[in-house]
């Protein structure tokens, strides 16, 4: 799985470069996110702007990442395409995650929350 990552202050920006987050890559994504968290990245913004499809395995991997933080950090999501946002709404994940239109908006919100 190809992931772009960069740090802004104490935040980690994670951008999957795959078009699909499905059962084929969900475990790899989950392991990569676990490694980021184990390495001390407790404030993560997940940019889904390149992702066009997420199945239940992909969604589960994202939820697993938030659970792994154990309330010690936060995971914000941005760049969600309309079809994926529909899935977030139907599964009520829009109530679990803070979702932003742009990466810039998510960065501002998370920096304000942390600071």
Q: Parse the chain into domains and list their residue ranges.
A: 3-114
Rounded to 5 degrees, φ, ψ at 114 are -75, -35
Tell me the pLDDT tens digit for each residue of 70-92: 989 999 999 999 999 999 999 99
Q: Are 82 and 90 in contact (CB under 8 A)?
A: no
What integer pLDDT is reported at residue 114 of this predicted model? 53
Q: pTM for this one?
A: 0.94
Question: 52 falls in which pLDDT band (50, 70, 90)?
Answer: very high
Q: Are 28 and 1 in contact (CB under 8 A)?
A: yes
Q: Are strands 43-47 and 11-16 parallel, antiparallel or unpaired?
A: parallel
Architecture of the CATH domain 3-114: 2-Layer Sandwich (3.30)
């Amino acid at each position: 799985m190809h992931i772009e990552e960069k740090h802004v202050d104490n935040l980690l920006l994670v951008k999957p470069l795959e078009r699909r987050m499905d059962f084929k890559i969900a475990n790899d994504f989950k392991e990569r996110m676990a490694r980021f968290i184990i390495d001390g990245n407790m404030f993560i913004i997940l940019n889904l702007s390149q992702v066009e499809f997420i199945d239940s395995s992909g969604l589960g991997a994202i939820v697993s990442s938030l659970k792994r933080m154990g309330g010690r950090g936060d995971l914000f999501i941005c760049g969600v395409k309309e079809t994926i946002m529909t899935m977030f709404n139907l599964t009520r994940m829009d109530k679990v995650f803070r979702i932003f239109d742009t990466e810039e908006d998510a960065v501002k919100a998370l920096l304000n929350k942390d600071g």
